[in-house]
Amino acid sequence: MKFQIEKAVEILSQTPATVKSLLGNLSDDWIENAPDSGNWSPFDIVGHLIYGEETDWITRAKIILGQDANPIFEPFDRFAQFEKSKGKTLNELIEIFAVSRAKNLVILSEMNLNEEKLRLKGIHPELGEVTLEQLLATWVVHDLNHIKQIAAVLAYKYAENVGVWKQYLSILQ
């Protein structure tokens, strides 16, 4: 499928409601991982999505569109949510995410993107040269990746309970 900003916004605008639908008002047994699991809990994932809204997608799009002589992105701390989410509930994080995403979608629409702007480039500190189109497509896929991750973390809670059906459930593989 060819990238189109309108199609990207279809997914980006649905993600907060999808996350809320999956996680809103679940008990702690569903949303927390064992301290020694090494996996991100749904709580951690939503915190990570918020941090991306605050420091990644729109911030980097503005760098690209600014066309400064040095369009290098700041490194993204993929683990900042562990500190930033402390003291909040999952429902609070879900609401913060929804508000941040709505604000960023307004900013995105005000950028009046076209094919020429989508071809503009920035410099990722690890990956090198990237286009605005690639950044925005990655934003969409990043959302979908974390929705899948949330579903997998939830499914895994019953991995041992499904018995012989486990072999048919790809989410548990």
Q: For 146-169, what is each residue's pLDDT tens digit?
A: 999 999 999 999 999 999 999 999
> What are the CA-CA distances from residue 141 to residues 11, 22, 44, 48, 126 (Å)?
9, 18, 18, 14, 19
Task: Go through the domains of the chain in sequence order and give each one's CATH number.
Answer: 5-172 (1.20.120.450)
The pLDDT, as a whole number, for residue 112 is 96
132 pLDDT tier (thresholds 50, 70, 90): very high
Phi and psi of 111, rounded to 5°?
-75, -15
Whether the pTM exceeds 0.75: the reply is yes
